[in-house]
Amino acid sequence: MTDYPRTFKLNRTDFAIAYVLLRLLIGVNFLNHGLTRIGNIPGFVESMVKTMETSYFPEPLVRINAFLVPIVELIVGGLLILGWRTRIALIVTSSLMVILMLGVTAVQNWQAAGDQLVYGLILFILLACRSFNTVSVDYWLAKKTAPSERSQ
């Protein structure tokens, strides 16, 4: 029989590695969503209008949101990959997911709704565990400015 340790100890370095890998994973996902759509925004907008035609949302609202989605995905994806303005990027991305959830549930696309919940959970974990965001531009900038603030 295997003897397991009686105490459970979390390793901060492992959490930092896991955090950066999860942040990169979701960042690449959003960046590529944006990159694949940005070159054909009119086509993406039209496909969203067609998808949402049975919903209760007015077409102009669908068009505006569909136009902005690829731009937002591209920006937040890049920010998450860099780990720059991570908190803001995670809040904006989570807000985007709420908007997208409104859309997919309005047309009863329950498979997509489930996928959105997974994204929401990942974004929650990243936001809640931001203290492990030590491999990032945010951390580097905070470390760079911290000594000068102490000397004042």
The per-residue pLDDT for range 9-47, each reduced to its tens digit, is 789 999 999 999 999 999 999 999 999 999 999 999 999
75, with CB counted inside 10 A (0-12, 13-18, 19+), is middle
Domain boundaries, given as residue ranges, for the chain: 12-145
Per-residue confidence (pLDDT) for residue 15, from 0 to 100: 96
9, with CB counted inside 10 A (0-12, 13-18, 19+), is exposed
Q: Give the predicted TM-score (pTM) of the model.
A: 0.89
Does the pLDDT of residue 95 top 90, yes or no?
Answer: yes
